[in-house]
Amino acid sequence: MSTDFSLFEKRVLKRMAIRKEKNGQEDKETYTKFKDAAESAKAFTKRPSDDELLELYALFKQATVGDNDTAKPGMLDLKGKAKWEAWNGKKGVSKEAAMEAYIELVEKLKAEYA
C-alpha cells in the first residue's frame, strides 16, 4: 500500500486534520457541497483529460464507498484496471477528506471545462 499523496492531496489532508473536531452541521455542508460538485462535473461542456477523469473517479469512489476492496480487473480490461488502480491509490483517505479533495478538484476544473 502506497501512501504517496500529491501536493494537492496533502493540502486537503492537512486542512482536514486542522478541522478534525467538526460538528454534524459542517459534515452536512460538506456532503451538500460534494453533491453539488458531482452535478457540476456532470455538466462540464468539454471533456477533461483521462488523468483528470481518473482522479475525479477515484476521489468520488473513495468519498462514497471508502477503501477499494474489490478484485483487480483482468489485464485485458484496460479501462477497468486504470479505474481500479486510481481508486486503490486513495486507500486510507477518509471519506470526508476525499469529498473535500473532490470539491476542490471540480472547482479547479470548472474554469477550463465548464
Q: What is the number of domains present in the chain?
A: 1
Which CATH number goes with the domain that contains 20? Answer: 1.20.80.10
- pLDDT bracket for residue 2 (50, 70, 90): very low
Asked whether residue 67 is assigned to any structural domain, the reply reads yes
Query: Which amino acid, 108?
Result: K
Ordered DSSP codes for 54-99: HHHHHHHHHHHT-S--SPPPPTT-HHHHHHHHHHHTTTT--HHHHH
pLDDT at 17 (0 to 100): 59
- 97-112 residue pLDDT tens: 999 999 999 999 999 9
pTM for this prediction? 0.79
Q: What domain range is 81 assigned to? A: 7-113
Asked whether residue 27 is assigned to any structural domain, the reply reads yes
- 12-59 residue pLDDT tens: 766 665 555 555 566 889 999 999 999 999 999 999 999 999 999 999
